[in-house]
């Protein structure tokens, strides 16, 4: 096994490193990464960002939104958690978690933590989840990656993944605390996240000093993959499955309701209803929205550029944009 120190807390860069060593650069042994990120939400390959994430909360708190190449659910990560990745070149026709999870369980034992695999894709301590795992295939490679809650901010994790009001979020925090746990809560002595990483890497590598240092050529290509693929709006939001949404607002100028069909992150069709007053026809309002990216800033710019501003009595384009897209 060969360890690569990524020296990055940027989720897109770390995913790009996975991609690069899975598809473009082959090392003679399995590649192992152990990394973490600034506050980040990672949605699964097949998930809808709008349904999985509290977008207003994420934006307000500066939480990065990303999409994995692997399936599974949305996870929250921050500097109190860790991610691990195994990249192996082999022809595998089915998803197999155990061979990649076993070294992690063994490493945790060295810290006095008894972890168990729940049979699907989670690791638990005393029945509480602290790790989710996922896999994907890229060319002839298997990429297995997982998360480790070490001292993660559980409140922020819940708030950013709960699309609901405060009362529900408050109840969700209590519910999640009953089901998830941080590894640090199960250690006999205080250990920093950095010390935890050191112990985990040493044990998973069986004290081997086999490492690979990224070259300038590697870094240049990884940066390109990051910017053109993983951090691109089309990849994060354009991969959303088709869905429809209804949004209703009551303003000084009356009630206005939008029914929208969203496909690949764009508004495919729109309908508007309500008791508002306007000098525009329904078709003029809706045609302005069709083809627009489904995000607040894009909707606002489209409304302003499409001549909607000032045409709906006592309802501003800013209010409409905030109503349509968080």
Distance (Å, whole) CA 145 – CA 82 = 11
Res. 178: pLDDT tops 70 = no
Q: Which residue has the higher pLDDT, 16 or 326?
A: 16
Q: Which range has the worst mean pLDDT, 86-100, 119-133, 154-168, 258-272?
A: 154-168
Q: In terms of domains, do 185 and 140 share one?
A: yes
DSSP 94: S
Q: In terms of domains, do 285 and 174 share one?
A: no
Number of domains present in the structure of the chain: 2
Res. 199: pLDDT tops 70 = yes
Residue 126: phi and psi, rounded to 5, are: 55, 40
229: domain CATH number? Answer: 3.30.930.10
CB 71 within 8 A of CB 136: yes
pLDDT of residue 152: 96
Distance (Å, whole) CA 283 – CA 324 = 17
The model's confidence at residue 177, banded by pLDDT at 50, 70 and 90, is low
CB 176 within 8 A of CB 159: no
Q: In terms of domains, do 284 and 143 share one?
A: no
- Average confidence score pLDDT of the chain: 90
Which residue is it, tokens 């999409």? 67
Q: In terms of domains, do 142 and 248 share one?
A: no
**In the chain, what is the straight-line distance between the N-terminal and C-terminal CA atoms, in Å?**
44
Q: In terms of domains, do 46 and 167 share one?
A: yes
C-alpha torsion 216→222→226→227, nearest 10: 50
> How many Å is the Cα radius of gyration of the chain?
23
Q: In terms of domains, do 201 and 269 share one?
A: no
**Residue 107, SS3 per DSSP:** helix
Question: The whole model's pTM is what?
Answer: 0.81
Res. 162: pLDDT tops 50 = yes
Res. 154: pLDDT tops 60 = yes
Q: Which residue has the higher pLDDT, 33 or 163?
A: 33
Q: pLDDT tens digit string along 242-259?
A: 888 899 999 988 889 999
Q: pLDDT tens digit string along 256-274?
A: 999 999 998 999 999 999 8
Structural domain of residue 10, as residue ranges? 2-236
Q: In terms of domains, do 206 and 80 share one?
A: yes
Which residue, 216, 236, 256, sits at the end of a domain? 236
Which residue, 187, 216, 236, sits at the end of a domain? 236
Q: In terms of domains, do 182 and 294 share one?
A: no
Structure tokens at 176: 């999640």
Q: In terms of domains, do 300 and 213 share one?
A: no
Q: In terms of domains, do 29 and 119 share one?
A: yes
Res. 226: pLDDT tops 60 = yes
**Residue 280, SS3 per DSSP:** coil
Q: In terms of domains, do 268 and 144 share one?
A: no
Which residue is it, tokens 């009630």? 255
The per-residue b/e assignment along 234-244, b for 16 or more CB within 10 angstroms, e otherwise, is: ebbbebbeeee
Q: Write the burial class of residue 99 (CB in 10 Å: 0-12 exposed, 13-18 middle, 19+ buried).
A: exposed
Tell me the average pLDDT across 289-310.
93
Q: In terms of domains, do 255 and 220 share one?
A: no
291: domain CATH number? Answer: 3.30.390.50
Residue 156: phi and psi, rounded to 5, are: -70, -35
Share of the chain above pLDDT 90, in %: 69
Which residue, 184, 214, 236, sits at the end of a domain? 236
Q: Which residue has the higher pLDDT, 275 or 181?
A: 181
């Amino acid at each position: 096994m060969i360890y690569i120190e990524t020296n990055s807390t940027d989720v897109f860069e770390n995913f790009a490193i996975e991609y690069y060593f899975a598809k473009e650069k082959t090392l003679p042994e399995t590649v192992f990464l152990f990394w973490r990120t600034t506050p980040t939400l990672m949605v699964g390959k097949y998930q809808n960002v709008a349904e999985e994430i509290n977008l207003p909360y994420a934006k307000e708190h500066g939480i990065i939104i990303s999409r994995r190449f692997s399936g599974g659910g949305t996870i929250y990560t921050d500097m109190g958690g860790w991610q691990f990745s195994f990249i192996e070149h082999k022809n595998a026709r089915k998803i197999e978690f155990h061979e990649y999870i076993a070294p992690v369980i063994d490493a945790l034992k060295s810290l006095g933590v008894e972890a168990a695999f729940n049979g699907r894709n989670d690791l638990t301590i005393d029945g509480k989840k602290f790790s989710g795992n996922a896999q994907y295939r890229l060319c002839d490679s298997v990429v297995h990656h997982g998360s480790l809650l070490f001292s993660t901010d559980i409140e922020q994790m819940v708030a950013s993944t709960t699309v609901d009001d405060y009362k529900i979020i408050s109840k969700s925090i209590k519910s999640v605390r009953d089901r998830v746990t941080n590894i640090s809560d199960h250690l006999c002595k205080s250990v920093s996240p950095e010390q935890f990483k050191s112990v985990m890497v040493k044990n998973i590598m069986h004290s081997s000093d086999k490492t690979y240092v990224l070259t300038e050529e590697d870094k240049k290509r990884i940066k390109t993959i990051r910017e053109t693929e993983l951090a691109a709006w089309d990849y994060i939001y354009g991969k959303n499955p088709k869905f429809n949404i209804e949004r209703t607002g009551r303003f000084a100028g009356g009630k206005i309701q939008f029914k929208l069909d969203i496909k690949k992150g764009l508004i495919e069709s729109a309908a508007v209803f309500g008791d508002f007053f306007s000098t525009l026809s329904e078709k003029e309002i809706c045609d302005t929205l069709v083809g627009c990216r489904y995000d607040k800033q894009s909707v606002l710019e489209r409304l302003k550029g499409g001549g909607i501003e000032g045409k709906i009595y006592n309802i501003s384009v800013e209010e409409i944009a905030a109503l349509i897209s968080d």
